[in-house]
Homo-oligomer: A and B are copies of this chain.
Amino acid sequence: MELHGKNIIGGSESAEGRPVIAAVNPASGETLAPDFYEAAPSEIDRAMTLAAHAFSQRRKSDWERTSALLDRIADEIMALGDSLISRAAAETGLPEGRLSGERLRTVGQLRMFAGVVREGSWVEARIDPALPDRKPAPRPDLRRMLIPIGPVVVFGASNFPLAFSVAGGDAASAFAAGNPVVVKAHPAHPGVSEMVARAIRAAVSATGLPDGTFSMLHGGPDVSLALVRHPLAEAVGFTGSLNAGRALFNAAAARDRPIPVFAEMGSVNPVFILPGALKARGEAIAKGLADSVTLGVGQFCTNPGVVVGIDNSVLQEVIRMAAEQLQKVPAGVMLHQRICDAFAAGVDRLRTIEGVTIETTENAGPGARAALFSTPSANFLSDPSLSQELFGPSSLVVVCDSPAAMMAVARGLEGQLTATIHATPEDLEQFAPLIEILTARVGRLILNGFPTGVEVSPAMNHGGPYPASTDIRSTSVGTAAISRFARPICYQGFPDAMLPPELQDANPRGIWRLVDGEWTKASVAENRA
């Protein structure tokens, strides 16, 4: 596939702006052809107008085409073959093996949502049949379900060029709910973005959905803000930094007509190692920690950036072992030179902070080398900069002198995607309040595991209290992500034939519905019998 560098607006290619974006191979520093055209205001408006038009053409039976679209996108992505992987590797510095795995995750996610749409129960149908004889007043027939919200603007993340980008979880769940999607491509991997966008385009054509169902634009912050501010945008999905996510949130809240922003902005994912677990399996924890910290050169939202333990000789030994493990990991190529520079600057800054000790030995040379730091909990609690995310392969061990100090560290945490506890059954009894404290601060609580590795499944929750995400009530991973891009409507007093199939008496789609307050797949008549 020859890349053209143009914006993809509905069924057309468009290049009205300047060709100012180019990918750089972070391993070689080489600029990759072609240049990509920043979207002009006219193009932004055209993409959104087409999306709104596509949405207005949507029909009740479109769930069939929607599930076909998701499956077809998966097929088209696989059909891109090795060229997708090699371009992704060139643009991101990620190893081909990891990218092949990420491609599997991406198509798996698309097919999972195709299944969710085909099965159909995600619309949370609720039926309160009429009670014409009720006193003092009859009850009308009320039927409620989720329907799509409208054009969704999606921002891909740099660290998952496939699974959290153009056809990633946000786009997949927005499509699944029945919405058109306008993606702003991440400028760090514009070529992968074009390839995937063309795969989506092919899938939209093949399934006969309107052209405006999908567009993809290139650009920087100005394009991002223009998309969020566009009057026809109805919701935003974002994965990335706190600064960028908050800027989009602010823009959306300041609109004449505010729209929801589902921004997942990472966190430090603290790992608490309780004394019994430390003693029983310190070495395994040290090794697991080092693996989790360096996975993908530490470029994960769920990277464990803070480790909390109670000081004793075992903890010191575990720190030493983890540092030793980390030093064995070769320096890695980060996604982008700016990210690598920011990581190096962060490591340098930590080195200069009084009371912070570097546990790994210093290493010159190119690439990002894993680093482990430690600091007493009093330092950690008094310096808020120490609990900020440093994106990359590093972690800070917070050394507590007592269980009470550990609880204080937990209480001082801001919102997190995850927290992890390593514990024996005895630890858990002794530290029961720790679980309550952490529950209030996280979206996912992990026992005796590591936070990296986010399963795509019905029970996953990938989100958390701010600043982990802007909407604590939602997840960006797993089947529940679909409900971000849907909203309820209630039909009152409608004849059966006029209702969407999901709400008709006979339950022609065979979905789970809450009828008279009970979940059932039965028809309304069977349920009342």
Are the C-beta atoms of B493 and A459 separated by less than 8 Å?
Answer: no
Q: Contacts of A56 on B, CB cut-off 8 Å?
A: 436, 440
A487 within 8 A of B: yes
Q: Which of B448, B473, B512 contacts A519 (CB 8 A)?
A: B512
Contact A142 B258 (CB under 8 A): no
Task: Scan residues 472-489 of chain A and give those whose CB is less than 8 A from a CB of chain B.
Answer: 472-475, 479-480, 483, 486-489
* A28 shortest CB reach to chain B, Å: 30
Tell me which of B128, B415, B514 contacts A455 (CB under 8 A): B128
Distance from A277 Cβ to chain B, minimum over Cβ atoms (Å): 13
Q: In the complex, what's the smallest C-beta–C-beta distance from A236 to chain B, in angstroms?
A: 13
Please indicate which of the listed interface residues A257, A457, A471, A493 has the most CB atoms of chain B within 10 Å of its own CB.
Answer: A457
Are the CB atoms of B490 and A453 closer together than 8 Å?
no
Contact of B472 with A142 in the complex, beta carbons under 8 Å: no
How many chain A residues touch B (CB < 8 A): the figure is 73
CB neighbours (8 Å) of A445 from chain B are 489-492, 494
Asked if A430 is an interface residue, CB under 8 A from chain B, the answer is: no
Q: In the complex, A473 Cα to B250 Cα: how many Å?
A: 19
Q: Are B458 and A128 in contact (CB under 8 A)?
A: yes
A70 interfacial by beta-carbon distance below 8 Å? no
Is A214 an interface position by the 8 A CB rule?
A: no
Q: A150-B440, A258-B466, A498-B428 are in contact. Are A448 and B493 (CB under 8 A)?
A: yes
Taking a contact as CB atoms under 8 Å apart, the answer to whether B519 and A121 are in contact is yes
A142 near B455: Cβ-Cβ < 8 Å = yes
Copies of this chain present in the complex amount to: 2
In the complex, what distance in Å separates the CA atom of A519 from the CA atom of B479? 14
A480:B126 contact, CB within 8 angstroms: yes
B449 touches A490 (CB 8 A): no
Contact across chains for A458 and B489 when beta carbons are under 8 A apart: no
Q: Tell me how far the C-beta of A340 lies from the nearest C-beta in chain B, rounded to whole angstroms.
A: 28
Is B144 in contact with A466, judged by CB distance below 8 angstroms? no
* B249–A453 touching, CB < 8 Å: no
Min CB distance A327 to B, Å, is 26
Within 8 A of B (CB), among A313-350: none
**CB–CB B488/A443 < 8 A:** yes
A439 within 8 A of B: yes
Interface string of A442-477 (1 = CB under 8 A from B): 111111110001010111110101110011111100
Chain B CB count within 10 A is highest, among A121, A453, A472, for A472
**A128-B457, A439-B489, A447-B494 provided; 20 other pairs, C-beta below 8 A?**
A55-B440, A126-B458, A137-B453, A143-B459, A150-B440, A249-B253, A249-B258, A253-B258, A257-B414, A257-B466, A260-B472, A260-B473, A442-B489, A447-B492, A447-B495, A458-B514, A463-B488, A472-B487, A475-B488, A519-B519
* Contact partners of A143 in chain B: CB under 8 A: 459
Flag if B492 contacts A444 (CB, 8 Å).
yes
A458 near B517 (CB under 8 angstroms)?
yes
Instruction: Determine if A149 is an interface residue (Cβ-Cβ < 8 Å).
Output: yes
Q: Name A484's closest neighbour in chain B (CB-CB).
A: B473
Q: From known contacts A253-B253, A428-B498, A453-B137, infer whether A144 and B459 are also in contact, taking CB-CB under 8 Å.
A: yes
Q: With A and B bound together, what is the CA distance between A458 and B491 in angstroms? A: 13
**Shortest beta-carbon distance from A125 to chain B in Å:** 9
Which residues does chain B contribute within 8 Å of A519, judged by CB atoms? Answer: 121, 512, 519
Q: Is A522 an interface position by the 8 A CB rule?
A: no
Question: Could you tell me if B494 and A459 are in contact, using CB atoms closer than 8 angstroms?
Answer: no
